[in-house]
Amino acid sequence: MPLTLSELIQDINEGNLALPDFQRDYRWADDFIVELLRSVARGWPIGSFLLLEQNGGTPLLSRSIEGAPKARKKPKRLILDGQQRATALYQALTGSGKRSTTFYIDMGALHSANRITDEAIECLPDRAFHKSFGKNVDSHAQAKILRLQDLVSSSAFNAWLTHVSENKAEQDTYADLKDAHLTKFTAYALRTEEVSSELPMEAIAKIFERTNRSVLRLDAFDLMVAILYPHDFNLRKKWESAKNSHEVLDDYEVPGVEVLKVIALREHLKQHDAIEKGLLKKLSVGGIRQSDVLDLDPKLVIRDWSKAVTAYAQALCFLRDDCGVIRRRIVPQQTMILPIADAFFSRSSVSPGARKKLARWFWAACFQRLYARGANTRGVTDARLLRAWLRRSGSVPSLITDFSVADESLRELDEGNDLVTAAVLCLLNTLEARDWATESAKSGAGRKLLATPKSTELGVHHVFPLEFLKSRVGRPKAQAEVPANQVLIDASLNSSIRNSPPGSVLKNSKVLPSAMKSHLVDVTKMRTDNYDEFVRDRSIRLAQAARRAVNPAP
């Protein structure tokens, strides 16, 4: 059933068309919106809209389109697929919403070309628009610029026409221009398909999964919100409550779906064990991918949610306190957190011996780049491995006993380089690496990075900067990204010395040379600006530290 743009705006304003409450927020960028508007003006297809009837079945919580009046009644239809397009069109044509952007027609360009060109439909931040074209209709008209919200309003457009010219013939020219090229902004027929609200929530969630794979795809968390709603379990509110109770979840910006993956991991392992014992024929939860999360029994999610939240928070605290993962940015690989959370599940505490085992596994997995590829499969394998090793009867895994890391791997670019770099920075934190900034000095040695306040931003610094390598050493810029060339320091200091060669950094009054040694750095090789000698020496030191972390001396 077609729905014209003017009817879309009217339905949204009157509260007849809204969004399911579990929909993600609106996130389209300005350039996406401009391209959409150009397509509408030309009459090109912009895809169909999938709408859910609200005249039967289980009623869904709803919310208004961003920028629209708050609905005072139950909407007749909800937008299942098309939220981004609908919101973009509504905001651009009404001038509403939080976006500080003005979308407009360059009527002069349209008049010159006598057709819709890319130059005819543009946008500018409000401040830039006002600076260029003024704030009132008179100045807009003089510049032959027409805001979209003035285009779709008959009274506003007529006011604009009177300011374009006092000449009636010229006014008629622009009125004819509107009728010839801009009527689609009200009359464009949107293709819509309607879904009955009699469908079960699981089916509606599957529709989401299938239809939201472009531009902004809903993840399994959003879909699980929908699945659990009929069970009187508001997952979104539960997640907000969890983050309030466990600040570490917010500190590390954890997506809610990761907690659901903990439940999926445990259910998968349980089912796998049941199959091996002949108690189950096949898996219903295949692993820890997002699609596997959707296969969880809602009752299981409700039962295990709180325990999974606590376990995930404990895993993050362990990584922060025992493994030096003091900021979200240096988490080596997010999937690695799941086997650790499984180890903490339903435990009020984990023994010091078990924590040491988890740390040894963490370093071995990082420096051997085990999560650089096939992370989901590896996460399941390692959860099973850790379960066995943490039991007293479990033997030391071969990835620990056979651990090896070549010095060369820390001074070369290879797959999983980001993972190893993050592991290097975290390991140095456990070895009491100190901030280079003089203002963080204590007794002239610098503050331990592990003791850095949460409010202080940290940045990754390339000891030999990118531009320096290219201009002075004749190396590709990418060579700066090798793990042996990177350290973690105060972000403001990093900003001020970012492009300085190491020799000049040593002379900078803002820098504590004495703190550099705590990063396993040979200061003498920095002083001579010798890149090859520096990374060779440091990669040897870092590899030795990694080997000691995985297999410490008795």
For 449-493, what is each residue's pLDDT tens digit? 999 998 899 999 999 988 888 776 666 667 889 999 999 999 999
In a domain? residue 201: no
In a domain? residue 197: no
Q: Which residues 6+ apart lie within 8 Å of 292 measured at CB? A: 264, 268, 285, 286
Residues 398 and 525 in one domain: no
Q: What is the pLDDT of residues 408-442, one digit of tens each?
A: 999 988 888 999 999 999 999 999 999 999 888 76
How far is the C-alpha of 426 from the C-alpha of 363, rounded, in Å? 10
Residues 425 and 322 in one domain: no
Percent of the chain with pLDDT over 90: 73
Residues 279 and 383 in one domain: yes
The answer on pLDDT for 125 being more than 70 is: yes
In a domain? residue 207: no
Contact 217, 31 (CB under 8 A): no
Cα dihedral sign, 37-42-48-54: positive
Residues 426 and 397 in one domain: no
Range with lowest mean pLDDT among 42-56, 88-102, 355-369, 516-530:
42-56
Coil, strand, or helix at residue 217? Answer: coil
Span 95-118, mean pLDDT? 92
Residues 254 and 122 in one domain: no
Alpha-helix runs per DSSP H in 404-512: 417-430, 466-468, 491-497, 502-506
Residues 260 and 341 in one domain: yes
> Where does the pLDDT of residue 224 fall: very low under 50, low under 70, confident under 90, or very high at 90 and above?
confident
In a domain? residue 508: yes
Residues 153 and 223 in one domain: no
Q: What is the pLDDT of residue 150?
A: 96
In a domain? residue 326: yes
Q: What is the pLDDT of residues 280-306, one digit of tens each?
A: 999 999 999 888 898 899 999 999 999
Strand 17-20 and strand 62-63: the pairing is antiparallel
The answer on pLDDT for 174 being more than 60 is: yes
> Where does the pLDDT of residue 443 fall: very low under 50, low under 70, confident under 90, or very high at 90 and above?
low
Pick from 189, 191, 192, 193: which is nearest to 43 by CA?
Answer: 189
In a domain? residue 391: yes
According to DSSP, residue 454 is labeled: T
Cα angle 135, 136, 142 (rounded to 5 degrees) comes to 105
> Where does the pLDDT of residue 498 fall: very low under 50, low under 70, confident under 90, or very high at 90 and above?
confident
The residue segments making up the domain with residue 520 are: 417-550
The answer on pLDDT for 148 being more than 70 is: yes
Domain tally, the chain:
3
Residues 115 and 175 in one domain: yes
Contact 534, 480 (CB under 8 A): no
Residues 394 and 435 in one domain: no
Residues 441 and 491 in one domain: yes
Contact 251, 454 (CB under 8 A): yes
The answer on pLDDT for 57 being more than 60 is: no
How far is the C-alpha of 549 from the C-alpha of 546, rounded, in Å? 5
Residues 353 and 498 in one domain: no
Q: What is the pLDDT of residue 215?
A: 37
Q: What is the pLDDT of residue 213?
A: 47
How far is the C-alpha of 522 from the C-alpha of 520, rounded, in Å? 7
Q: What is the pLDDT of residues 4-26, one digit of tens each?
A: 999 999 999 999 999 887 676 77
Residues 156 and 13 in one domain: yes
Span 171-183, mean pLDDT? 95
